[in-house]
Amino acid sequence: MTLMMKAKQVADEVYAAIRLRVEELRRLGVVPRIATILVEGDPASAFYAQAKQKVAEKLDISFELHTFAKDVSQQEILRLIAQLNKDPQVHGIMLELPLPKHLSAATIESSISPRKDVDGVTPQNKLATMTGEVGLYPATPQACIQLLKYYGYGLEGKNVTLVGRGQTVGLPLFHLLQRENATVTVCHSRTPDLAAHLRHAEIAFVAVGRPQMIVKEMVHPDLVVIDAGINETDNGKIVGDVAVDVSEAVAAISPVPGGVGTLTTAVLYQNLLKALEIQSQGQEVR
């Protein structure tokens, strides 16, 4: 019978550990604080920002939401980030995407202090993700690996097929998998026979942003699948990059919703505490 690798239990354990650490910090007079920048115009971004705020409140973490009109200038956002970078009471900074076309996400993300970059999007943290040096690694790739390990699946020496090489999930996940000593094959839009690679894989991570592109005929009964895709269909339903009936043909799979996405927000707040530690120890992210 297929194991459904649901994330609620592991996320609850992560949140419990975070709460304990926040209590300790508050007793020491330190209030963990995160600032989120939201530009109006995308309802999904506003929803996710509000969801993160609710989680922060449950964790007793201070949450600042800075909202701009959709015609905001890039300079206004950069000025705010400069202020947040200098503020010792702010320990993490997030930028909600997507942004209006007149704004450069790359420029704005690069202006965030690497020591406060809890999304792991600055060039310094991208490099740290590759090298394993001190830094803040992206939350979703970390969530993929944490979920897999929670259910007892190791990566060392395993044949892993990674479907997707995007900057947000696929590429940083590749580097994290390499550091776990997995043998990784990266597949993408120009891979001619994706099924052939999946047939030889023990573990597959799928992060392409294409609804249900992995179908039952591509997999095998011993395969373990982590689906990092979150896609909204025309009727408003949330589905992954893996077709639902694949769950009938593999050893284990993470569901969508209820899988990687559920754990990602928890890992984001793990990153906030790591950021606070980096700052308190005077460490640099290079």
| Cα 180 from chain centre | 18
Q: Give the annotated binding-site residues.
A: 164-166, 230
Integer Cα distance of 285 and 37 in angstroms: 22
**Dihedrals phi, psi of 213, to nearest 5 degrees:** -80, -25
Helix (H, G, I), strand (E, B) or coil at 89: coil
H/E stretch holding 36 reads: strand 33-39
- Helices 139-150 and 170-179: crossing angle, nearest 10°? 50
Q: Which residue numbers belong to the known binding site for NADP(+)?
A: 164-166, 230
Instruction: State the Cα–Cα distance between residues 211 and 215, nearest whole angstrom.
Output: 10
Q: How far is it, in rounded angstroms, from Cα 112 to Cα 95?
A: 9
Is 12 in a helix, a strand, or coil? helix
Contact 174, 184 (CB under 8 A): yes
**What angle do helix axes 139-150 and 8-27 make, rounded to 10 degrees?**
120
How far apart, in whole angstroms, are the C-alpha atoms of residue 152 and residue 64? 37
Tokens describing residue 263 = 């754990």
Question: What one-letter code names the amino acid at 116?
Answer: K
